[in-house]
């Protein structure tokens, strides 16, 4: 599939896909006319890259991780790094849950006042 087709299919920009190639996260084959061509199997890879970026991993960390996803082989050093990343993500999740809980408390407190036409309690 061409780069525009891949971008549409996974919901990322063409620019992002080009960036992934620059960072060695993704590879394409060029057609005789110079267009990037990707196999269908790259869809899952792009989705994983997106998830890892969203979780805060750097392109460097992702480059190290991707071969392990494909082969299942993980070095002890990479396993330590992945464990550290997981710990960081767990801390982010905990912070987000606390923030959500505080917002829930505000919403719960404010909803009855709003429906009664009163200002929100402080």
Q: What is the pTM of this model?
A: 0.74
Same domain, 79 and 49: no
**Binning pLDDT at 50, 70 and 90, where does residue 101 land?**
very high
Give 65's pLDDT tier (boundaries 50, 70, 90): confident
CATH number for 26: 1.10.1660.10
Rounded mean pLDDT of 92-120?
A: 85
Tell me the residue range of the domain where 78 lies. 74-122
Q: Compute the average pLDDT of residues 61-82.
A: 86
Final residue before a domain boundary, out of 33, 50, 73? 73
23 class by beta-carbon count within 10 Å (0-12 exposed, 13-18 middle, 19+ buried): middle
> Torsion angle, CA of 37/16/77/44, rounded to 10 degrees?
-50
Same domain, 16 and 66: yes
Q: For residues 46 and 80, state if they share a domain.
A: no
Number of domains in the chain: 2
Q: Is the pLDDT of residue 78 over 90?
A: no
At 119, is the pLDDT very low, low, confident or very high (cuts 50, 70, 90)? Answer: low
């Amino acid at each position: 599939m061409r780069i525009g087709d891949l971008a549409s299919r996974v919901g990322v920009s063409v620019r992002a896909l080009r960036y992934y190639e620059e960072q060695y996260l993704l590879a394409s084959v060029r057609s005789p006319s110079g267009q990037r061509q990707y196999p269908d199997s790259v869809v899952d890879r792009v989705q994983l890259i997106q998830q890892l970026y969203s979780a805060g991993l750097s392109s460097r960390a992702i480059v190290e991780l991707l071969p392990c996803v494909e082969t299942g082989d993980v070095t002890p050093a990479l396993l330590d790094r992945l464990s550290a990343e997981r710990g960081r993500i767990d801390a982010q999740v905990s912070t987000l849950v606390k923030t959500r809980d505080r917002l829930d408390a505000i919403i719960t407190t404010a909803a009855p006042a709003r429906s009664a036409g009163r200002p929100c309690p402080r």
